[in-house]
Amino acid sequence: MEGGGRPSASQAVVLAASTAVTALLYSVYRQKARVARGLEGARKVRLDGELRAVLLEAPGRCVPYAVIEGVVQSVKDTLSSQFVENCKGVVQRLTLQEHKMVWNRTTHLWNDYEKIIHQRTNTTPFELVPAEPGAAVAVRVMKPLEAAELSLETVYEKFHPSVQSFTDVIGHYISGERPKGIQETEQMLKVGTALTGVGELVLDNATIKLQPPKQGMPYYLSSLDFESLLQKQESSVRFWKILTVVFGFASCAVLLFLLRKQYRHHRERQHLRQMQEEFRQAQERLNAEGAEVLKNACVVCLSSTKSCVFLECGHVCSCHQCYQALPEPKKCPICRQGITRVVPLYNS
């Protein structure tokens, strides 16, 4: 603690940082909990012939947050994989990712570094249809790339290592960057994939659409079933809750430590003021009694009362103990005249 009981700059920074982290974690936890509650309260709708009737009865022909499970089916054309034969899908993502080692001058270690140098996503309109063949109902999926969780399957992955000469190796060590290679990946949402969609379900003329919700809730297109998706969100909520509690306890511990330091400093200052007041009162008593005490005190020890009369000079200035302690030949401490004899002094 600094003077005045105030916390030091480092202690204030630690308290502010821990409080800010706790507030941030609590904000994330609240957001995750809101999402989990919204997902738990979403209306489960069956993809069958009664779906159109359900939407007709709903206000505005819309279910604001609905859960629907079906199988992916393209509306018109499908996308073909560039690397795998007879692999058809409705969403295709091609990614080129650079892998290299970067020298860290602080830790003096080579660290892995990854960077996406090119990515392209292709989509084609698709629907969710019942798993049972022959059903006449379908739900058009709108804006799939806006989904918070879009389940794409990796259908092709290949790593192309870098070819380096001896000169290149020397240059890489000098520059602090050592390329490892390029990874080529293709991901697809294949036709026939079982998908769980969570979003706004609306009847637009004759078309049933699943689209991003308007209330700020997340939009899901997941290969997990609804129960697994809900458990995943609840696990995320528990994780952020534990982090919030841990950092909250840490902030409380720092705050209690600073308060305890300040309380001890306050007690010390209170004790010091009490001692100063007692000393002041003692000084006042001494000032009131000091003149009389000093008048009758031995000039040698200043503690005992004068009890001797020195002759022939006649000075009364010493107690009997101090007279005995005077060196030979004994002389008066006041006038330095030799003492021939001592007469006791009796105060009545």
Asked if residue 3 belongs to a domain, the reply is no
- Which of the 8 DSSP states describes residue 331? B
The answer to whether residue 140 scores a pLDDT higher than 70 is yes
Question: Is the same domain home to 50 and 186?
Answer: yes
Per-residue pLDDT at 286: 64
- Asked if residue 317 and residue 233 are part of one domain, the reply reads no
Does one domain contain both 254 and 320?
Answer: no
Is 285 inside a domain boundary? no
pLDDT digits (tens, 9 = 90+) for 237-296: 999 999 999 999 999 998 898 888 888 888 888 888 888 888 788 777 766 655 555 667
With respect to residue 314, please indicate whether it lies within any of the assigned structural domains.
yes
Q: Does the residue 289 lie in any domain?
A: no
Number of domains making up the chain: 3
- Residue 205, token pair as written in the block: 């003329």
Cα 150 from chain centroid (whole Å): 30
Rounded to 5 degrees, φ, ψ at 34 are -65, -40
Instruction: Quote the pLDDT of residue 289.
Output: 56
Q: Are 332 and 231 contained in the same domain? A: no
Whether residue 74 sits in one domain with residue 156 = yes
Q: Cα 51 to the chain's mean position, in Å? A: 46
User: Is residue 72 domain-shared with residue 218, that is, in the same domain?
Assistant: yes
Same domain, 17 and 51: no
**Do 318 and 203 fall into the same domain?**
no
207 and 74 co-located in one domain: yes
* pTM score, whole prediction: 0.66
Shared domain check, 139 and 37: no
Q: Where in the sequence is the domain holding 150, given as residue range(s)?
A: 45-224
**Do residues 266 and 117 share a domain?**
no
Q: Are 64 and 215 in contact (CB under 8 A)?
A: yes
Q: What is the pLDDT confidence band of residue 4, given thresholds at 50, 70 and 90?
A: low
